[in-house]
Amino acid sequence: MTAFTGNAEDILTQLETDSGTGLTGAEARVRLEKYGENKLKEKKKKTVFQRFFAQFADVMIIILLVAAAVSFVLALMGILRGDEGADYKEFFEPGLILLIVVLNAVLGVVQESKAEKALEALKSMSAPHARVLRDGHDAVVNASEVVPGDIIRLEAGDYVPADARLIAANSLKSEESALTGESVPAEKDAKYYIEPGVDPKSVSVGDRHNMLHSGCAVTAGTATAVVTATGMQTEMGHIAGLLAGERDGKTPLQKKLNSLGKYLGIVAVLACAVVFIIGKFVNQMAWLEIVMIAVALAVSAIPEGLPAIVTIVLAMGVQRMAKKNAIVKKLPAVETLGSASVICSDKTGTLTQNRMTLVKGYVVGEEESEDISDNNSRAVKKMLSYAALCSDGSVNVSDITGENEYIGDPTETAIIKAAKDNGTDKNVLDKRYRRVAEIPFDSDRKLMTTVHKIDKKFVVIVKGAYDRLEHVCSAGVAPKVRDMCDFMSSQALRVLGIAYKTYDKLPQAVTPENLETELTLMGLVGMIDPPRPEAKEAVRVCREAGIKPVMITGDHIITASAVAHDIGILREGEDVMTGARLDALSDAEFAEKVANVSVYARVSPENKIRIVKAWQQHGEIVSMTGDGVNDAPALKAADIGCAMGITGTEVSKESADMILTDDNFATIVDAVRDGRGIYDNIKKVVSFLLGSNIGEIFTVLAAMILFHATPLLSMQLLWINLVTDSFPAIALGVERVDKDIMRRRPKPKSEGLFAGGLWVKLVFMGVMFTAITVGAFYLGYCWQDGMRFDWLAVPSSGGGNLKAAQTMAFIVLSVSQIVHAFNMRSDRSLFVSNPFGNHFLDGASLLSAGLMAVVVFTPVGIAFGVIALSWQMYLSALALSVVPILVMELLKLAALPLRRKKYNRMK
């Protein structure tokens, strides 16, 4: 028998406790030893050192470390042997490589410093103290010392310290929206009874009216209950267990960059092998010379700045998104959001306003109901005034913000707000028509009664559930009223009836039997937690972008369906599924149905994870939005979790990858747009850097074969990769988002970073860079002085000016890549739009060119092996450097028909 089935006496017997005296102190200590403290456990976290060393488990980093080690050993051997020109400056190169690797590791640790705090947030939600019955007396103990079998006492404002079965309750309500998703506090009933034979799995948390749950707050009434579960055995603890069981998966971008690193590592190893074979067995080169070329080749194959630049681009994108109310906690998650093909969203507080609002009013005798506004009919205004008098909540204007402050039960504040909008202030009503008696609401009667002195008469006002109210009205109720109630209910409205009667003299006994009889029904009011105004448009844009919106809520199926239909999530032919129905399906059966289900109602945390994972098994990238504790496991299991910043619990915020600070579903649309734009820009950055790296690899191989020498020193390659290329690459990362980006379908999960023939384009760019760089190298190799060249200075002749050749190759490769950055802005011609429209790129290019000039024209160049050339040579280098503009413009012109076909298909 579970805690919520059977009667309370059976539970007390099962737990071996007494509701009158509670546990003894000795027994409580025994049980504390047996069950453990009433705390939530958390998994062991990695230390800072473990995280730091984990950063080195990357193929690109390992290759760089090997290159640094080889360079260091060679420099050390040269010094020990006393080689000519060998000094401690030779350690500059391996030191620089090592510095780059360490800085990359530190950056990774900083990024991962936002470690898991979800379990700590869950702990903070637990009550720090509890009032228990021990040895027949009330005692206040630490919440961690509460044990199963303890009798606890609660009142409005208390947090529940552990899961407990009600023994006695008076007008009890508990705020359980964080667990169930319901916006209205749950009414609790100690007498509520579930037959022991009922399958416990079929009874959701929201339907356990005789239970209180750990971490939830009591909003009204008082209660005595027996603790049935503590710590990890509570519903809150179960969620904590789900959180601990979910691993943080890598985002698609992380996976692609990791895969890229492995491929580049293989390329570097193969290239070094080719260099060794050709150099040793074909060109008969010295061993030391071959090793130096291999080091240069390894450095050229690795885009050292890529991880840092991608991180910077993501960080800049995050800053832009933060200005639009979307705070991203984990940088790579930006790209994931842009790739999202399914958005699973909670209803309460996410798609709706999480505030009950009166929308319909019906007065008995009228033909139709009225929409509640700020100028309703006199009859509706009177009914709202009576309903406000029979309410305990309040709506006041804040002196600080000037906005309404809602205090009390959401149902009552909705009534008071509607009355206030119609010119009737509850504070004024209370002073004018003083309340002289009342009968509080309770879950048995489902009615609330107040008595007021109005026009020298005692007016009894009763509000509550219509199905109870119609039976205590004097002349019965016309079928029209019942039809109107059914119609409002079918629209997912919560319907309350308002009735009254008058006395010249109030009965001596203020009891339901005396006052709640022979009433006159005034009418009905219907209220709902309304959709956010922006939600409908946001859903429409999501569908246009090829994203499937799915509502997942703990609310009732009628309410969920009505809201989903209203905002466009639920369309004709699509299915609605309850958690109970989902539980009855096998994984295979559910996999067949999941694509057509748009709304899930009355679901559990396990259901939410199962839904998310079912979509993931279909190859979809799933985003989950939510604000409650019940959303936290699914937020973590999803490819990207989006928590609400205002109404969201700390648990959901810490579990999520992104927080929407305005709790606005429409913010997701901007976030998706920015995510797609950032991914497009990252592809531009990767293409730009890899095209350059491929050009460097081909250049080194070609020069080695033709000239038996390396055209670029390792230091020069590092300068190009980390300095000359980095600033334009970062600037490409902030390129404006394509105006048609939200008209594309999400890219498939299996789509690689180089889809759409990008590898072919990269190889083409590499060949282009190789041609102009090797040409520049040969020009320098043959240069004597001024404009004199020895065109026969080839390897076979034993001549050639190697330093001049390397200087020319260095200048041309560096400047041509700066120029090429402008080609990478768009697939469209540079001359169709403003070629200098990206001011960040303009500034970055000038900065890179300036730094390059410092190396070429100042003594700094000595450290990079650069020598002075004639002005004619510098002019030749500049002419070769602008060749990529001409080549890429011709390529774009040739690809124009294909691009037009692509955009027509996209539309």
Angstrom distance (rounded) from CA 498 to CA 417: 16
User: Considering only CA atoms, which of 139, 153, 317 is closest in space to residue 222?
Assistant: 153
**Ranges assigned E (strand) in 529-564:** 548-552
Three-state SS for 612? helix
Residue 706, number of CB atoms within 10 A of its CB = 15
Largest CA distance in the chain: 126
Confirm if 362 and 486 have CB atoms less than 8 A apart.
no
> In whole angstroms, how far apart are CA 155 and each of 60, 178, 224, 705?
61, 19, 9, 86
Catalytic residue among 346, 627, 657, 725: 346
Confirm if 407 and 416 have CB atoms less than 8 A apart.
no
DSSP 8-class letter at 44: P
b or e along 360-393 (b: 16 or more beta carbons within 10 Å of the residue's beta carbon)? bbbbbeeeebbebeeebeebbbbbbbbbbbbbbb
Residue type, 802: L
Confirm if 518 and 501 have CB atoms less than 8 A apart.
yes
Angstrom distance (rounded) from CA 333 to CA 672: 11
Angstrom distance (rounded) from CA 8 to CA 14: 10
Angstrom distance (rounded) from CA 233 to CA 231: 5
Q: How far is CA 381 from the centre of its chain?
A: 44
Angstrom distance (rounded) from CA 447 to CA 758: 69
Contact residues for 702 (Cβ-Cβ < 8 A; gap 6+): 770, 774
> Annotated catalytic, 346?
yes
User: Considering only CA atoms, which of 154, 161, 150, 152 is closest in space to residue 127?
Assistant: 161
Angstrom distance (rounded) from CA 599 to CA 603: 10
Angstrom distance (rounded) from CA 164 to CA 208: 11
Angstrom distance (rounded) from CA 69 to CA 94: 7
Q: Would you list the DSSP string of 180-207? A: H--SSPEE--TT--B-TTS-GGGS-GGG
Residues tagged active-site? 346
